[in-house]
Structure 1
Amino acid sequence: MKTNRFITKIVAVALVLLSLSSCKGLLDLKPDSSMTYNGFWDTEEGARSAFIGNYTRFRGYAGTFWDLGEMRSDLWGGKTMESPFGETMIQNDFNELKAPYGGNFADFYGFLHNVNDFIVNAPKSPLASNAKDFNNMMAQMHGIRAFVYYTMLKTWGDVVLSTNPADGDFIANESMQKRKRAPKAEVMKQVLDDIAKSLEYYEKSGTNNWRNSSVYWSKNATLTLKGDALLWKGQVLNGGQADFQAAKEALQLVKGSLVAYNDLWGIDNEGNKEFIFAFDYKENQSSHWYGSLTAKAGDVVSLVDQKGNSVKDKYGFQGANRYGVSQFAINKLYEFDGDKRQNTFILFYEPGKPADVHNLASEDYKGAALSKFMGYNDKSGERRYWENIPLYRYADVLLLLAEAKNQLGEDPSAEINMVRVRAGVAVKYISKNKLENKRAILDERLREFAGEGKRWWDLVRAGDDLVFDYVTNLKKENRHMIYLPLSNSLISKDPEYITQTEGY
């Protein structure tokens, strides 16, 4: 009977997700939380199931985070071997009539409902009597909610704030449903409040890293997010020196280390000590999307890489080639001799390659594959995409710390050079003026994180209108396009409360 009751509760979770996915409006939810209605929170096992379920749903947005964080940058837009994906974002070619992600906040509110449900109801459940686990789980959920709202802030600017699940009280109180988009400063306050709650719960739990695994949100992840968010607040939202100082202090508290560069990638290395938080991909559970950045085996059968190796024999691709790296990115990756990050992209050529194998305008150049997450061939010969995908790693902490120091008028070269040396670069960076240092940090972050979903955010966060210098299809007179529009159809469902992004 106990097993049957538990299955009933799992089905209830599926029902509430179904109800959320079929919503007509932004917060148009069914009249009761299915989990609450079915007694889901009456047992500790129910609360634990909700906790794990939230990680499954969080992983479902990993590709969205990547797309939002990178596609609009100067990293992509080169030649592909198949019809390209993501052109709307890559070309910054959108408006209110052609809004990315359906113009409905990328369906983040469905996930936020589930996180809110845990934050509100777990303290009332039997799980709360297990103080160590309860406090750590609450710390993780607050950290994840902060990250989602931070992503929404960076993407749409003003967004609707909702910290309540779709329970009876929510539906009965119309003011809880009908909310205008909160201004950016208020959204950032919510992000920082959640970060503070996360750190408070970690302190209570006495455990900073759940199960000692990077696939669970940790105190280090919250501290990294805090530094990241405060840099955004200081440089994009017209904050001040106090933000940069607080960012520096948070990042200096992150305990971590760099590992050998070649030990970062692949399923055998997914538990490395550099990953702070990573999305967990496992056999028979979920595969990641990076197969679209490799190639079809038949398309590369006669091609060689930049060293003249047969692509077919060396790599055994079984994917697709939908995203093309830019010449600008290749130039940066090959700026220094000995840089291990030159292997980030495998460039495909016809045999008898041209003298300059890094000239993507060559007729012999056919396309490229991202090497970081290209899966592996199992015993049956099938290509599997089950590596864990990092959201934050320690190199990120170092280069964010370099940003904070630079904004404070301090020398950022130590952190830049730690990342460079690990990559095999002998040329040390010497600090210059603040703007030149910013550009150097941006260059280092491109080399280090190409393909990891960060470049667009990096360019915007740098401030000083630098994003317009690098992304040439985005003009200063269209600076409103830093933030994405909503669809007119979404606004028409609730025009009194949901308004278009400013400038559209």
Structure 2
Amino acid sequence: MKNIYRTFIAVSLAAGFVSCASFLDEQPVSEVPANQMWSSSRDAKAGVSQIYSYFRTAMRANYFYWGEFRSDDFEPGSSSAATQQRVMENQLTTDLDCADWSDLYTVINQANLCIKYLPKVDMPSVTDQNDLLGQAYAMRALAYFYAVRLWGDVPLFTEPNEKFSDDIYRERTDKDYILREVILEDLRKAESLIDRTGNKERKRISIYGVWAIMADVYMWLGEYNLADQTIEKMKGDATFMALETDINTWKKMFTEELNNKASDNTPENDEYSTKEFIFVVHFNMDEVGANGYSYMYQWFTGSGNRAAVVSEVLRNKYDAADLRLPLVAVEYQSGWEMRKYISGTISSTLNKTCEIGYPIYRYSDMILLQAEAQARQSKWEEALDLIKPIRTRAGLETPTADDFGTEDQIVDFILDERQRELIGEGRRWFDLVRTGRWKTVMGPINGCQEDGNELLPINYSLIDHNPKLVQNSYYATTE
């Protein structure tokens, strides 16, 4: 799809509408001004499709930088992976690409464009129009949710930037305000708009995706009862959302279901056999060429260039009887490779053709999150009942409430289970920060134990361009 327009602005908000052939298989739109472009159903679908394209770009490398490389899931792999090693060893500086929020704000600005223009498009189906609008609200919420978890206070934009003006230079808005008044409000709007029967797609936001983000936000805010209630809503349709019960199908879920999925323009058809995936970042080389491959092979296999190996800390958390361990980690050439998404061995020639998707939310994730929410409400037996099917699938017994003496002990057990189950899914670092355990866990590993070090620095280029931005305090004093 050709460039419609683009305004590069100082805080790196791209106001453009740029796309290759989208997964909705839209035809190219002629180069026209934005207020003329939003005139048909095709334009509306392409506009929302572009949000996902930008999000894929934002997450391609940052899925690991933001979600796991700062955690105890991984250790440095090859010495050639210098940037990844710096992040793992907590050597964070303002020149790192992962410290740049530009790609997230590109997602936000595209969502803002859709939110502004979609209601004005004359579409034959109001249901379809509302569903697209609901996806835009949900994706704006998700992008801001990543931003506040990573940087704390961030600039707030709820209108699209379509031309240059001084308004692009904004100070940072309080993260709690964004969480409660923007993110949650966007998710409530999405919840009311999403088509609950026609939208069965896992490569974009469905009603289950809305609830997953919402529950995650409630957990971040300590609203455990609301998180519990929200996840409970996801259990109403087992034909769409259900746990895999066999460890072999659990493995195939990652090695086959996520691999080389075709583009899709029929959201009413669920093309996945598994019912565990809620929202997946989709990769397709036919769609976006060289940028369409993921890093699941390149960064985790081959002793010469692998960025990371599974840490000894995590390996020691698996019981010897845990059926997951040999499926997620294999000792190979002086390192334990993450093989969760790989069946057999992988040739290095396949590194740059890998089309394995990244799970953003999965049902096992939600069940374990609900278990934590219930444990924090003194519902220990109920929490352990939720965990039991996941541990049974892994060949393990589940302890009883009598085995724990304090809430912290059972929460630690649940967090360890989340770590074992969700390795490679971009969740561990956020769990550590959300629960306030990042200092005690990471301090002995890489020295990450001073207040403010849990946030990322703001890339120097953003501060150079925007005089109203102030660097996060930990990095302002250490550089």
**CA shift in 2, pair 1:73/1:59, >3 Å:** same
Q: Give the match for residue 86 of structure 1.
A: 84
Q: Give the match for residue 145 of structure 1.
A: 140
Q: Which moved more, 1:319-328 or 1:400-409?
A: 319-328
* Corresponding position: 1:117 with 2:113: yes
Q: Give the match for residue 462 of structure 2.
A: 490
- Deviation of 1:39 (Å): 1.6
Q: Give the match for residue 194 of structure 1.
A: 186
The one-letter code sitting in structure 1 at the alignment partner of 2:336 is A
The one-letter code sitting in structure 2 at the alignment partner of 1:332 is K
1:291–1:375 Cα contact (<8 Å) kept: no
**CA shift in 2, pair 1:109/1:369, >3 Å:** same
Residues 331-370 of structure 1 correspond to what in structure 2 (within 5 A)? 331-333=316-318, 335-348=319-332, 366-370=334-338
- Deviation of 1:448 (Å): 0.3
1:228-273 superposed Cα distances (whole Å, 9 cap, x missing partner): 1111112xxxxxxxx1111111011113211133322223466211
Say which SS state the counterpart of residue 204 (structure 2) adopts: coil
* Corresponding position: 1:252 with 2:232: yes
- Deviation of 1:38 (Å): 6.6
Measure, in 1, the Cα distance between the counterparts of 2:129 and 2:377.
Answer: 38
1:267–1:386 Cα contact (<8 Å) kept: no
- Deviation of 1:25 (Å): 4.1
Runs of 5+ unmatched residues, structure 2: 17-30, 236-240, 260-271
1:2-59 superposed Cα distances (whole Å, 9 cap, x missing partner): xxxxxxxx4233x42xx43xx44445869xxx86447211222112211222222222
2:152–2:175 Cα contact (<8 Å) kept: yes
Measure, in 2, the Cα distance between the counterparts of 1:283 and 1:399.
Answer: 33
Measure, in 1, the Cα distance between the counterparts of 2:87 and 2:248.
Answer: 31
Q: Give the match for residue 358 of structure 1.
A: none
Measure, in 1, the Cα distance between the counterparts of 2:464 and 2:424.
Answer: 37
**CA shift in 2, pair 1:477/1:399, >3 Å:** closer
Q: Give the match for residue 4 of structure 1.
A: none
- Deviation of 1:112 (Å): 1.4
Measure, in 1, the Cα distance between the counterparts of 2:373 and 2:211.
Answer: 14
Measure, in 2, the Cα distance between the counterparts of 1:405 and 1:162.
Answer: 35
Q: Give the match for residue 179 of structure 1.
A: 170
Measure, in 1, the Cα distance between the counterparts of 2:86 and 2:92.
Answer: 6
Q: 2:66 aligns with which of 50, 68, 74?
A: 68
Say which SS state the counterpart of residue 160 (structure 2) adopts: coil
**CA shift in 2, pair 1:291/1:81, >3 Å:** farther
Q: Give the match for residue 51 of structure 2.
A: 54
Instruction: Give 1 or 2 for the bigger CA radius of gyration.
Output: 1
Measure, in 1, the Cα distance between the counterparts of 2:327 and 2:98.
Answer: 35
**CA shift in 2, pair 1:475/1:387, >3 Å:** closer
Say which SS state the counterpart of residue 413 (structure 2) adopts: helix
Q: Give the match for residue 209 of structure 2.
A: 221
- Deviation of 1:488 (Å): 4.0
Over aligned residues, Cα RMSD in angstroms?
A: 2.7
Measure, in 1, the Cα distance between the counterparts of 2:128 and 2:187.
Answer: 18
Residues 185-334 of structure 1 correspond to what in structure 2 (within 5 A)? 185-189=176-180, 190-202=182-194, 205=195, 207-208=196-197, 210=199, 212-234=200-222, 243-255=223-235, 256-259=241-244, 260-263=246-249, 264-268=253-257, 271=272, 272-282=274-284, 284-285=286-287, 286-296=292-302, 320-333=305-318
2:300–2:309 Cα contact (<8 Å) kept: no
Say which SS state the counterpart of residue 369 (structure 1) adopts: strand
Say which SS state the counterpart of residue 217 (structure 1) adopts: coil
Measure, in 2, the Cα distance between the counterparts of 1:492 and 1:84.
Answer: 25
User: TM-score, normalization: structure 1?
Assistant: 0.78
Say which SS state the counterpart of residue 332 (structure 2) adopts: strand
1:436-472 superposed Cα distances (whole Å, 9 cap, x missing partner): 0111011101110111111101111123xx2111112
**CA shift in 2, pair 1:394/1:25, >3 Å:** closer
Measure, in 2, the Cα distance between the counterparts of 1:100 and 1:82.
Answer: 16
Runs of 5+ unmatched residues, structure 1: 1-9, 235-242, 300-318, 350-365
Say which SS state the counterpart of residue 147 (structure 1) adopts: helix
1:82–1:320 Cα contact (<8 Å) kept: yes
Say which SS state the counterpart of residue 42 (structure 1) adopts: coil
Q: Give the match for residue 6 of structure 1.
A: none
Q: Which moved more, 1:247-256 or 1:261-270?
A: 261-270
Measure, in 2, the Cα distance between the counterparts of 1:72 and 1:289.
Answer: 17
Say which SS state the counterpart of residue 60 (structure 1) adopts: helix
Q: Which moved more, 1:428-437 or 1:144-153?
A: 428-437
Say which SS state the counterpart of residue 46 (structure 1) adopts: helix
User: TM-score, normalization: structure 2?
Assistant: 0.81
The one-letter code sitting in structure 2 at the alignment partner of 1:57 is Y
The one-letter code sitting in structure 2 at the alignment partner of 1:166 is N
Measure, in 2, the Cα distance between the counterparts of 1:29 and 1:389.
Answer: 26
The percent of aligned pairs where both chains have the same amino acid is: 23
Say which SS state the counterpart of residue 167 (structure 1) adopts: coil
Measure, in 2, the Cα distance between the counterparts of 1:71 and 1:279.
Answer: 18
The one-letter code sitting in structure 1 at the alignment partner of 2:457 is P
1:281–1:287 Cα contact (<8 Å) kept: yes
The one-letter code sitting in structure 2 at the alignment partner of 1:493 is H
Measure, in 2, the Cα distance between the counterparts of 1:45 and 1:25.
Answer: 30
Measure, in 2, the Cα distance between the counterparts of 1:28 and 1:390.
Answer: 26
Measure, in 2, the Cα distance between the counterparts of 1:408 and 1:328.
Answer: 29
Residues 392-431 of structure 1 correspond to what in structure 2 (within 5 A)? 392-411=361-380, 412-428=383-399, 430=401
1:200-229 superposed Cα distances (whole Å, 9 cap, x missing partner): 112xx4x2562x221121111111111111
